[in-house]
């Protein structure tokens, strides 16, 4: 089973537990006369004591999926249930009612697989890093740099205002200017987010200053060497 199927089962189990179900088994092998004939994704007991054989689909369930969960449940003498994002067509909806299968439907975003989550997080991190790269610290004036330093070195807005020697209105105006000039990648205005961005920008500023000083020294050494030739 792929990562998408496994992550779907993990989410389904968390949902069942939130509804009061007790997870009994996962990937239960079903055998007849010593031969494996099926696998049940989850067996779980509801708060009233009824035990279900549950099939988890990462997408929409078809008629064949409905038949499968019904047949598997019959093999082990349990009530059938299917967890999915919906049904592929009208015949699947009719089959659910005919076979008296309990269904639990999830919104499209709920059964997002872990690989999708990782991809989304990776893209967000890349956007944030690119935002920092676009920041032009040279565009900040002395007052705005004081605010940036204040945000990076203290633990609250009031402390940052005190450190920068500014009142609330001037401090807020300066933050607005910093956002515009530095293209802050995180749009939330909570102190933790602003402080994190300030720390990264101050670190970058120091690294750029150190690099400029190194380049100046290299240039000076090169000029001296050239003059001795």
Which domains can be identified in the chain, with CATH numbers? 3-112 (3.40.1350.10), 130-228 (1.10.10)
Cβ atoms of 197 and 184 within 8 Å: the answer is: yes
Structure tokens belonging to residue 191: 């102190």
pLDDT at 46: 94
pLDDT at 125: 67
71-78 contacts at long range (C-beta below 8 A, 24 or more positions apart) = 71/38, 72/30, 72/38, 72/39, 72/40, 73/40, 73/101, 75/30, 75/32, 75/37, 75/38, 76/28, 76/30, 76/40, 76/43, 78/43, 78/51, 78/52, 78/53
Pairing between strand 79-84 and 22-32? unpaired
| pLDDT tens, residue order, the chain (229 aa) | 444 445 678 888 888 988 899 999 999 888 877 777 888 999 999 999 999 999 998 888 999 999 999 999 999 999 999 998 889 999 999 999 999 999 988 765 454 555 666 666 676 666 666 666 666 777 788 888 888 888 888 888 888 888 888 888 888 888 888 877 776 655 555 778 778 878 888 887 777 788 888 888 888 887 777 777 6
Of 200, 201, 227, 17, nearest to 104 (Cα)? 17
Determine if the pTM surpasses 0.85.
no
- Partners of 153 in beta bridges: none
């Amino acid at each position: 089973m792929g990562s998408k199927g496994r992550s779907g089962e993990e989410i389904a189990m968390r949902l069942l537990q939130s509804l009061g179900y007790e997870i009994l088994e996962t990937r239960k092998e079903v055998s007849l006369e010593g031969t494996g004939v099926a696998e049940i994704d989850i067996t779980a007991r509801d708060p009233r004591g009824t035990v279900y054989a549950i099939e988890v689909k990462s997408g929409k369930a078809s008629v064949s999926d409905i038949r499968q969960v019904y047949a598997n449940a019959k093999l082990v003498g349990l009530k059938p249930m299917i967890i999915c994002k919906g049904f592929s067509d009208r015949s699947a909806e009719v089959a659910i009612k005919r076979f008296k299968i309990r269904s639990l439907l999830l919104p499209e975003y709920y059964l997002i697989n872990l690989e999708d989550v990782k991809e989304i997080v990776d893209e967000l991190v890349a956007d944030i890093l690119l935002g920092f790269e676009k920041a032009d610290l040279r565009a900040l004036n002395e007052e705005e740099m004081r605010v940036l330093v204040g945000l990076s070195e203290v633990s609250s807005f009031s402390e940052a205002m005190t450190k920068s020697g500014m009142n609330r209105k001037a401090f807020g105006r300066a933050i607005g200017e910093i956002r515009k000039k530095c293209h802050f990648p995180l749009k939330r205005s909570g102190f933790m987010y602003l402080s994190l961005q300030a720390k990264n920008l101050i670190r970058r500023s120091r690294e750029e200053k150190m690099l400029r000083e190194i380049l100046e020294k290299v240039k000076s050494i090169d000029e001296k060497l050239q003059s001795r030739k």
